[in-house]
């Protein structure tokens, strides 16, 4: 009777030991799976953070490029002033004379066009060193700035009166703040009259150091 009881005890002890080893093996397997899952989650988190940083960086570069486009607009306005003051325009009426500088698309393609139908501004081929004006040096952020100036008329190389142009409005008065037009401040022969000032569109394109591209347009007259 004692021997049989001893056999049962040994059998139970052996069986219990086998179950513990099986359980230990299962725990190890589950621990490995959990470790793999945690590793994948960590990798996904790192990639998510990197992606967010990349997006934030790209937005920052694009905002900087948009701000830099103001330099292109200002340079274009300076060019327009120089065209206006060109001695070749002496005695010419910009509304009536087709040879006035504002009414001609220069053969040298210096970035000024007497018609808005000449170029496709959304094409990258337009923004080479021929069709536009490139500012001599990049700005402090490393942005490259180019601009194109277009007379908002359908027909190129003719006087404004024949060019089917988009004209400016009359004198604006908003809450006492007046926006004066050339006919309000111009004095002498060749000055435009009310409703006969064509609008001019300036498009600046800025390419950032990481190929971020921004466009800014301004209408001047």
Q: Which residue has the higher pLDDT, 205 or 25?
A: 205
Q: Is the pTM of this model over 0.75?
A: no
62 contacts 207 by C-beta, under 8 angstroms: no
Alpha helices in 85-121 (DSSP H): none
Instruction: Tell me the C-alpha distance between 78 and 149, whole Å.
Output: 11
| Alpha-carbon span 13 to 19, nearest angstrom | 10
Phi and psi (nearest 5°) for 138?
-60, 160
Strand extents, DSSP E, 59-179: 112-113, 133-134, 144-151, 172-174, 177-179
Say what the pLDDT of residue 78 is. Answer: 92
User: How far is it, in rounded angstroms, from Cα 165 to Cα 59?
Assistant: 37
64 in Cβ contact with 216 (< 8 Å): no
pLDDT tens digit sequence for 120-170? 888 888 898 788 999 988 887 788 899 999 999 999 999 888 888 887 665
Q: What is the pLDDT of residues 66-109, one digit of tens each?
A: 678 888 999 999 999 888 888 988 888 888 889 999 999 987 66
Q: Please say whether the beta carbons of 212 and 65 come within 8 A.
A: yes
């490029």: which residue's tokens? 65
Domain edges within the chain: 70-220
3-state secondary structure of 200: strand
Q: What percent of the chain has pLDDT over 90?
A: 18
d(CA 173, CA 219): 18
| Residue 13 structure tokens | 């002890």
- Check: CB of residue 215 under 8 Å from CB of residue 205: yes
Residue 79: predicted pLDDT: 92
**CA 102, CA 163: separation in Å to the nearest integer?**
12
Phi first, then psi: give them for residue 112, nearest 5 degrees.
-105, 135
């Amino acid at each position: 009777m004692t021997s049989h009881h001893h056999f049962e005890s040994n059998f139970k002890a052996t069986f219990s030991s086998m179950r513990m080893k099986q359980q230990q093996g299962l725990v190890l397997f589950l621990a490995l799976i959990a470790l793999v899952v945690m590793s994948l989650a960590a990798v996904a988190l790192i990639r998510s953070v990197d992606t967010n940083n990349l997006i934030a960086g790209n937005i920052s570069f694009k905002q900087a490029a948009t701000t830099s486009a103001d330099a292109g607009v200002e340079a274009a306005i300076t060019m327009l002033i120089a065209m206006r003051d060109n001695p070749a325009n002496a005695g010419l009426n910009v509304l009536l004379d087709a040879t006035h500088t504002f009414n001609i698309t220069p053969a040298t393609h210096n970035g000024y066009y007497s018609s808005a139908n000449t170029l496709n501004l959304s094409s990258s081929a337009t923004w080479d060193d021929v069709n536009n004006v490139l500012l001599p040096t990049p700005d402090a952020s490393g942005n490259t700035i180019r601009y194109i100036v277009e007379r908002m008329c359908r027909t190129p190389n003719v006087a404004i009166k024949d060019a089917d142009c988009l004209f400016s409005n009359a004198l604006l008065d908003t809450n006492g703040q007046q926006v004066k037009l050339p006919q309000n401040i111009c004095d002498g022969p060749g000055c435009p009259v009310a409703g006969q000032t064509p609008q001019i569109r300036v498009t600046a394109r800025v390419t950032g150091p990481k190929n971020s591209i921004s466009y800014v347009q301004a209408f001047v007259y």
